[in-house]
Structure 1
Amino acid sequence: MQAVLSLALLLFAVLVLKHRSQARRGLPPGPSALPVLGSVHKLTLEFQHKRFLEWSKDFGDVIYFKLFRTPAIVLNSLESARELLDRRSAKYSDRTRAVLLAELMGHDSALPFLRYGERFRRHRRWMHDAIGSRASIQKYRPIQVREVHLLLRSLLKNPEAFMEHLYRYVAGTLLEITYGQRLTSMDDLIVQLAERTVNATNESGSPASMLVDFFPILKHLPTWLPIAGFKRHALKARADLKAWRETGVNMVRSAMASGASSSCVISALLESHQGHLGDEELEEIGAIGVDIYGAGTETTYGSLASFVLAMVRSPDVLRKAQKELDEVVGPTRLPDFADRESLPYLNAVVEEVYRWNPGLPLAIPHRAMTDDQYRGYDIPEGCMIMPNIWAMSRDERYYRESEDFRPERHLNETGDAIAQERELPHSYVFGFGRRVCPGQAFADATLWLAIASLIATLDIRKVVDPSGAEITPPASFKPGFTSQPQPFPCKIVPRTEMIAAVIAQLDV
Structure 2
Amino acid sequence: MKLGKQSNTDVFSLNIFGKSILVLNSAQAASELLEKRSAKYSDRDLGTMLTNPALLDWGNSVVGAGYGELWRHYRRMLNNWLNARGVVQFHELQQHQARLLLKRLLKAAEGPKPFHHVRDEFFYAIACNMFQLGYGYCLQSHNDPWYQQATLAVDIFTKAPLISNFLVNAFPVLVYVPDWFPGTGWKRTAKAWKAIKQKALDEPYEWVKLQVAAGTTEHSILSNLLQDHKLVSDLSIEERDKRLKELALIIYGGGTDTSGSLLVSFVAAMTQSPEAQIKAQKELDHVLGPMTLPTFEDKERLPYVRNLIQEVMRLYPAIPAGVPHVCFEDDVYRGYTIPKGTSVAISRDEENYPNPEVFDPDRYLDPNVPLAPGFGWGRRKCPGVYFAEDSAFIFIASMLSVFTFSKKADADGKEIEPVIECGPSALSLELNPFDFKFEPRSERHRQLIIDNAAQSHP
Length-normalised TM-score, structure 2: 0.91
Distance 1:406 1:226, change over 3 A: farther
> In structure 2, what is the equivalent of residue 387 of structure 1?
345
For the pair 1:140 / 2:96, whether they are aligned, the reply is no
Q: 1:340 aligns with which of 299, 303, 308?
A: 299
Give unpaired runs (5+ residues) of structure 1.
1-51, 413-417
Which stretch of the first structure deviates more once superposed, 478-487 or 397-406?
Answer: 397-406
Structure 1 segment 96-495 matched on structure 2, within 5 A? 96=45, 98-103=47-52, 104-135=55-86, 137-159=87-109, 160=114, 161-204=117-160, 206=162, 210-271=166-227, 272=229, 273=232, 278-384=237-343, 386-388=344-346, 391-392=347-348, 395-412=349-366, 418=367, 423-425=370-372, 428-479=373-424, 480-495=426-441
- Contact 1:303–1:484, Cα closer than 8 Å, also in 2: no
| Percent of residue pairs identical | 33
Q: Determine if contact 2:161/2:169 at 8 Å carries over to the other structure.
A: no
Larger radius of gyration: 1
In the aligned structure 2, how far is the partner of 1:59 from the partner of 1:224?
Answer: 49
CA contact (8 A) 2:46 2:161 kept: no
**CA RMSD of superposed structures (Å):** 2.0
Question: Could you report, residue by residue, the CA deviation over 1:152-175 in whole angstroms, capped at 9, with x for unpaired residues?
Answer: 011123323222211111111111
Deviation at 1:97, TM superposition (A): 6.1
**Separation of aligned partners in 2, 1:206 and 1:402:** 26
More displaced stretch, 160-169 vs 240-249: 160-169
Q: Distance in 2 between matches of 1:189 and 1:305?
A: 24
Q: What SS does the corresponding residue of 1:387 show, helix, strand or coil?
A: strand
Supply the distance in 1 between the matched residues of 2:17 and 2:406 (Cα, whole angstroms): 48
Tell me the matched-pair count.
Answer: 442
Q: Which runs of 5+ in 2 are unaligned?
A: none
Higher mean C-alpha displacement, 400-409 vs 356-365: 400-409
Closer, same or farther: CA 361–53 of 1 in aligned 2, 3 Å:
farther
How far apart are the structure 1 equivalents of 2:361 and 2:180?
52
Deviation sequence 1:268-319 (CA, Å, 0-9, x none): 1211246955222111100001111012111111110000111111111110
Counterpart residue type for residue 424 of structure 1: L
Q: 1:65 aligns with which of 3, 6, 14?
A: 14
**What is the distance in 1 between the residues matched to 2:147 and 2:76?**
26
Matched, 1:90 2:39: yes
Provide the rounded CA distance (Å) in 1 between the counterparts of 2:268 and 2:218. Answer: 36
Distance 2:151 2:23 in 1: 30
Shift of 1:133: 4.5
Report the counterpart of residue 442 of structure 2 in structure 1: 496
Query: Larger % of helix: which?
Result: 1
Aligned residues of 1:354 and 1:429 also touching (Cα < 8 A): yes
Gap change, CA 1:431 and 1:299, over 3 Å in 2 = same
Give secondary structure in 2 for the equivalent of 1:74: strand
Inter-partner Cα distance in structure 2 for 1:212 and 1:132: 38
In the alignment, residue 389 of structure 2 is paired with which amino acid?
Answer: D
Q: Per-residue deviation at 1:455?
A: 0.4
Higher relative contact order (CA 8 A, sep 6+): 2
Instruction: Note closer, same or farther for the CA distance 1:239–1:209 as it changes in structure 2 (3 Å cut).
Output: closer
Q: Is the 8 A contact 1:110 1:290 kept in 2?
A: no
